[in-house]
Structure 1
Amino acid sequence: MTTTATTATPTFAFTAPAPYWQAGVDDTLQCVSVHDETHDVRTFTFRAVPARRFAYLPGQFITLELNIDGQTVNRCYTLSSSPTRPDTVTITVKRVPGGQVSNWLHDNLRPGMNISVLGPSGEFSFANAPASRYLFLSAGSGITPLMSMSRALVDLGGDIDVAFVHSARSPADLICRNELVQLSRARKGFHQAAIVQVRDPEPEWSGLEGRLDLAALERLVPDFRERTVFCCGPAPYMTGARELLQSAGFDMQHYHEESFNFADLNAAAGAAEAAPAEPEAAGECGYEVRFNKLGDVVHTKPGQTILAAAQQQGLRVPSSCSKGLCGTCKTKMLEGKVDMKHGGGIRQREIDQGWILPCCSVPLSPVVLDR
């Protein structure tokens, strides 16, 4: 009697550790899983193609470059994963009514699909503000960078003292609800609490109800004034958190926040740069900037970026972060020279091909853009 052995071909095989992901060189991620966090929030997990390990600061973000209806659309999403687990990265995305990118991701992105990305980038991380005690404040999908930080702190071991207070509309909207409870059980120094505006559809909810105020904060974290605060959420939430802490005598030098609404950052940056800048080594003279396809011409002031000049003169140019991070305003330069101080929102090969980021580019000569 002859027996024939058969071996199933594995769909995934462990190999020697892959090289590290190089921002600006590597740019392709493949979706490997999609997980529902709530009724309108999903976590997408990716691995690099080709295989790479990821090293980044907990709290940083990536910029997705997507083709939607024949147009390239850029959007920034914080990594909700932790660099302590370096073989994959995740983003956690809330479906926003009318949101072009969030709806596309929920409706179309599936395991096996590849997307192009930039980054990771960003400065919002406890790694840039070491402290013995932290207070994490978040609302809605603003929980993502703080989940990244929490996962990293728990994974790294050692003594930690973290108080995490998350706000949501209802118990059904609490992102990573069970995981936060598990983290608090796993680590003695990790404490979490949630505040919801309404109990429905969970009338037996035993946590706090309402909005974050001084009474709730004093009850949940009595020593909050002695902690370093990281805060992320919708703009009204963060405004309220700042005002609450300031009124309570908190030292705002120990307050850090991240806005995932780059439109707000863009408006603030445009207002700040609307006035003429002081002449500096780069851009001591103002120059003409011609938008070839639009047919518009703007004139920069000394030291002023192209985006700031365009906004000041009423020209609508696609942009988001205004800091050279996200790549949304990326444009081909047909003629001219600029001084570009970007923050990772453009690849070196793109620069070599003549692409620039108008948000962080000061003309050194007359410029013609292919836009």
Structure 2
Amino acid sequence: MKAQADSIGGQWMLDNLRPGMRLRAKGPGGSFSIARHPADKYLFISAGSGITPMMSMTTQLYDSGRDPDIVFVNCVRRPSEIIFRERVERMASRATGIDLKWVVEETDRYKPWTGYRGMFNQLMLGLMAPDYLEREVFCCGPAPFMQAVREALTGLGYDMNRYHQESFHAPLPETEAVPGDVFPDERVDVVVEFASSGVTAECTETDTILGAARAAGLALPSGCTMGSCKIRKTRGEVHMVHNAGITDEDVARGYILACCSNPVGRVTVEA
């Protein structure tokens, strides 16, 4: 058990619980389950303890007796923090259809690491699961991590109706607002104007600028969609989550990454 800086329940448990105390716990709930979204091929993407439901769903498929088709991605700070590593690797060693991909930010001292290193991004996704467009995606982890995964998939043209996510964070009360927090809403229609091309595209807040451009028939430079799609915004606001693909100086000058930016209201860009 560990508590983040803004933890409520976890910090209370660390401060108050002692060996021998009893807790009353409820069973799992919600709709984050392969039982509700059956598919032939899955892509499980998680960070930290978000591996927990992925391990459960993988175990269910493994115990069914058939060889599943799962690309299993888990991102952590260092290899020693991978939860359920031995258990998941044991299943993968007995089923050819469980493909494990561990991603770490840094290595443990005196322990060689030959897997992926860095922050999960679109380039990694293409290497880990080249057929990601054919897979049902389940994602679980911290809110910024899941936002980055959503934007990576959207920028690559993935059908987000096949994307499912779960968070361990309790929802905020409806009366409590968090200043400065902006979350794209798929129910809100917006307009993106591409000034140089004279094209105006209608989309929703959960669409990226790059996605809106492609839908409107514009071929913006994108490359690997991890930094080469930098364009200048001249009006409006965007919600941008990126993996260091743009400098603070460029952001201050009005530049954004089209693949990682969601329009908030009407937005005009030089493209």
Q: Indicate if the aligned counterparts of 2:126 and 2:132 stay in contact, CA closer than 8 A.
A: yes
Q: Indicate if the aligned counterparts of 1:194 and 1:207 stay in contact, CA closer than 8 A.
A: yes
Question: Aligned to 1:209, which of 105, 117, 125?
Answer: 117
Q: 1:119 to 1:102 in 2, by over 3 A?
A: same
1:240 aligns with 2:148: yes
Deviations 1:323-345 (A, max 9, x none): xxxxxxxxxxxxxxxxxxxxxxx
Q: Indicate if the aligned counterparts of 1:170 and 1:201 stay in contact, CA closer than 8 A.
A: no
The whole-number CA distance in structure 2 between the counterparts of 1:127 and 1:243 is: 25
User: CA offset at residue 95 of structure 1?
Assistant: 3.7
Q: Indicate if the aligned counterparts of 2:101 and 2:128 stay in contact, CA closer than 8 A.
A: yes
The equivalent residue for 1:76 is none
The equivalent residue for 2:67 is 159
The whole-number CA distance in structure 2 between the counterparts of 1:220 and 1:152 is: 22
The whole-number CA distance in structure 1 between the counterparts of 2:86 and 2:128 is: 19
The equivalent residue for 1:229 is 137
Deviations 1:290-337 (A, max 9, x none): xxxxxxxxxxxxxxxxxxxxxxxxxxxxxxxxxxxxxxxxxxxxxxxx
Question: Aligned to 1:174, which of 69, 78, 82?
Answer: 82
TM-score by length of 2: 0.59
User: CA offset at residue 215 of structure 1?
Assistant: 1.4
**Unaligned regions of 5+ residues in structure 1, if any?**
1-92, 272-371
Secondary structure, counterpart of 2:28 in structure 1: strand
The equivalent residue for 1:149 is 57
Matched to 2:125, the amino acid is L
Residues paired across the two proteins, number:
177
The whole-number CA distance in structure 2 between the counterparts of 1:184 and 1:176 is: 12
- 1:1-371 to structure 2, matched below 5 A, reads 93-97=1-5, 99-105=7-13, 108=17, 110=19, 113-201=21-109, 203-263=111-171, 266=173
Q: Indicate if the aligned counterparts of 1:136 and 1:163 stay in contact, CA closer than 8 A.
A: yes
Deviations 1:90-136 (A, max 9, x none): xxx444356343245457364x6432233432111111000000000
- The percent identity for this pair of structures is 39
TM-score by length of 1: 0.44
Q: Indicate if the aligned counterparts of 1:171 and 1:202 stay in contact, CA closer than 8 A.
A: no
* Rg (Cα) greater in structure: 1
The whole-number CA distance in structure 2 between the counterparts of 1:223 and 1:143 is: 22
Deviations 1:214-233 (A, max 9, x none): 11111111111100000000
The whole-number CA distance in structure 2 between the counterparts of 1:109 and 1:267 is: 34
Secondary structure, counterpart of 2:35 in structure 1: helix
Question: Structure 1 runs of 4+ off > 6 angstroms?
Answer: 268-271
Deviations 1:194-252 (A, max 9, x none): 10111233551111100111111111111111000000000000000000001111111
Q: 1:201 to 1:102 in 2, by over 3 A?
A: farther
Matched to 2:103, the amino acid is I
Q: 1:109 to 1:232 in 2, by over 3 A?
A: farther
Matched to 1:194, the amino acid is W
**Unaligned regions of 5+ residues in structure 2, if any?**
179-271
The whole-number CA distance in structure 1 between the counterparts of 2:21 and 2:63 is: 29
Deviations 1:263-300 (A, max 9, x none): 35x459989xxxxxxxxxxxxxxxxxxxxxxxxxxxxx
Q: Indicate if the aligned counterparts of 1:170 and 1:198 stay in contact, CA closer than 8 A.
A: yes
User: CA offset at residue 161 of structure 1?
Assistant: 0.6
Matched to 1:214, the amino acid is Q
